[in-house]
Amino acid sequence: MVPNTPTTWTGGLDLPSRLFGSQANRANGTENSYELYEEDDQFVLTIDLPGYEPEEISLRWYDGRLNVSAEHVDDERGRKQQTHRTFRMPKDVIDDDIDASYRNGVLEITLPIEGELTAGKKIPIES
């Protein structure tokens, strides 16, 4: 049985951190910065993901949401680096035409606007 300490019973009350990420993650750089903008009838999303290989990054489009996750294991140092983020686009996207590239630690995803939503699709990453 876990003893009830202020930390255990208030942990579930930290809703802002659970919704927006903790300040500690932002301060120590474990939360990856991103930029999302609309340009020429498409959304462009760039995410800083230094230290990953393209095959360690996974992109999934499902029901109007883009899920980005990455995991890198450094066996020599015994470290594991992970990140996961979900983005909801404010407009419909042509999911068959989503493109992604990864260069110099920056993942760039282009999402053409004005498509109908379909079932999930895995998005290949060029390098």
Domain boundaries, the chain: 33-122
Question: Do residues 71 and 94 touch, judged by C-beta distance below 8 A?
Answer: no
Give the architecture (CATH level 2) of 33-122: Sandwich (2.60)
pTM exceeding 0.75 = no
CA nearest neighbour of 95 among 73, 121, 72, 70:
121
pLDDT digits (tens, 9 = 90+) for 69-115: 999 998 888 888 999 999 999 888 998 999 999 999 999 999 999 75
pLDDT digits (tens, 9 = 90+) for 53-76: 999 999 999 988 999 999 999 888
Rounded to whole angstroms, the Cα distance separating 6 from 18 reads: 18
